[in-house]
Structures are given as structure tokens and as C-alpha cells.
């Protein structure tokens, strides 16, 4: 499987371009509006056909490239059914399959960071969006975020996947690129050995400022970035 992890240094966002191989259909996970030219150049070089753009949720920190990429390439844009964004070409629900040639992904509904958060799983690989980070998690204090739901999504859903599954997060602020289910189960300081009550206590006391772009990004992303 061809996976290209692409980093946006402005928002510390990871975007993923995934295909079976050069010359095949591709999916882009969580693309950033300001990077469209870079994605299109890479897609052309690798001779890929962009079939899907998948946003793991309506982002508050960056504007999605989904809508513009659809206009430019004819790809299908996907968001969770809970998003309430009529701009999406297609909405998905829990355990729905997304297929690019011989790769079958399963969309896993993982509310908590937002009510519309999904992860994308295929054997060996999990794109965790803002649900699970490397030694951290997405925040739960806006967009109907809920720490109890997030704990349930991570512990009772993601942590039941094979331990050697490689985790590709939606952000990293500390210079990490990948992890595994085993590592997060055992070393994630918010989760390892923590009860749901302890997790709730941590999440409700992060006292983070709102993302700089939040007031622009959320409404823009409800229009798939077409503002």
C-alpha cells in the first residue's frame, strides 16, 4: 500500500494520500485548503486517480480542501452522517465500507472530539483523525465534543483493533509521525491505566485556547471549504 503522510506546518495537520500503488485509485484523508496544488502535483506524478476525499470530521483549525478538489478532479467527498453538511457528496455511517480498487476501508464512528468524528481502518493501518493522537487525544470542549464518548470510542472501539495496527493521526504537535495501537494502549498518558472518570477529569481541565481559525474554519468546512 502506498501511503504519503503530508504535513501542514501552519496547523500541524497531517493529510494522507493512500492508494494500492502508482497508477491506481486514491483517497485523500483530511486535505488542507492551502495545499491543494501540492496534492494535485503529487497525484499527477504518482499517476493516481483521486476517487475520494474523506474528512474525518468538520475541522475547527483548518479549512478543508474537499470542495475545491471535487470541483477540480470530480472526486467524491465524504463526511460522517452526523455532520449535517449538505455539501458532502456522500455521507457515511458506522462500519460502512469505502473501497479504492482492492483496498477496503471500514469507517469507524468515534464521537468524542466532535459528534461527527470518524476513523478509517484497513488491515494494519488506522487513520485516527482527531480522535486519537500519538500520546494524546483530540480535545473535547467544542462542536458537541464529549470526553465520555471519546473514552468509549478509543478504549472500546479503537483499542480492540490488532495491537500492531499502525496509527496515523490527524495532527501531531511534538514531532511524531506514527504509533501503534499497542503503544497508545500502554503509553498514552491520558488513557493508559486511566478510568473514564480520570480521563474526564483530564479532558475537562485542559484549558486550551480556541483554535485561531475556528470562527472561520467551522462555517467554511460546513460548506466543504467552498467559501
Binding site for its own copies (CB under 8 A): 4-9, 22, 35, 38, 45-46, 174-178, 182-183, 186-187
Cell of 41: 502535483
- Note whether 73 and 50 are within 8 A (CB): yes
Whose Cβ is closer to its own copies: residue 3's or residue 226's? 3
Please state, as a whole number, how many other Cβ atoms lie within 10 Å of the Cβ of residue 80: 27
Shortest Cβ 99–its own copies spacing (Å): 24
Shortest Cβ 149–its own copies spacing (Å): 27
Give the side-chain half-sphere CA count within 13 A for 129. Answer: 32
Shortest Cβ 174–its own copies spacing (Å): 7
Length in residues, the chain: 227
Whose Cβ is closer to its own copies: residue 35's or residue 70's? 35
Write phi, then psi, for 164 (nearest 5 degrees): -90, 5
Whose Cβ is closer to its own copies: residue 102's or residue 163's? 163
Whose Cβ is closer to its own copies: residue 96's or residue 183's? 183
Shortest Cβ 88–its own copies spacing (Å): 25
Of 99, 121, 98, which Cα lies nearest the Cα of 108? Answer: 121
Shortest Cβ 32–its own copies spacing (Å): 9
Q: 219: which DSSP letter? A: H
Q: Give the integer Cα–Cα distance in Å for 12 and 201.
A: 26
Whose Cβ is closer to its own copies: residue 55's or residue 172's? 172
Amino acid at each position: 500500500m502506498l501511503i504519503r503522510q503530508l504535513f501542514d506546518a501552519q496547523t500541524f495537520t497531517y493529510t494522507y494520500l493512500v492508494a494500492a500503488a502508482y497508477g491506481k485509485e486514491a483517497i485523500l484523508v483530511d486535505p488542507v485548503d492551502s495545499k491543494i496544488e501540492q496534492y494535485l502535483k503529487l497525484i499527477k506524478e504518482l499517476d493516481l486517480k483521486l476517487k475520494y476525499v474523506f474528512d474525518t470530521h468538520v475541522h475547527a483549525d483548518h479549512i478543508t480542501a474537499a470542495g475545491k478538489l471535487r470541483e477540480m478532479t470530480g472526486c467524491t467527498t465524504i463526511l460522517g452522517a452526523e455532520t449535517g453538511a449538505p455539501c458532502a457528496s456522500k455521507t457515511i455511517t458506522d462500519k460502512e465500507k469505502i473501497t479504492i480498487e482492492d483496498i477496503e476501508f471500514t469507517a469507524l464512528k468515534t464521537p468524542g472530539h466532535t459528534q461527527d468524528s470518524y476513523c478509517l481502518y484497513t488491515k494494519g493501518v488506522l487513520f485516527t483523525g482527531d480522535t486519537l493522537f500519538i500520546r494524546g487525544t483530540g480535545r473535547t470542549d467544542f462542536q458537541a465534543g464529549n470526553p465520555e464518548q471519546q473514552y468509549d470510542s478509543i478504549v472500546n472501539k479503537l483499542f480492540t483493533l490488532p495491537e500492531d495496527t499502525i496509527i496515523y493521526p490527524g495532527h501531531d504537535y511534538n514531532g511524531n509521525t506514527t504509533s501503534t495501537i499497542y503503544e497508545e494502549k500502554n503509553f498514552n498518558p491520558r488513557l493508559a491505566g486511566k478510568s473514564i472518570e480520570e480521563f474526564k477529569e483530564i479532558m475537562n481541565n485542559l484549558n486550551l485556547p480556541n483554535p485561531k481559525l475556528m470562527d472561520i474554519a467551522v462555517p467554511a468546512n460546513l460548506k466543504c471549504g467552498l467559501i
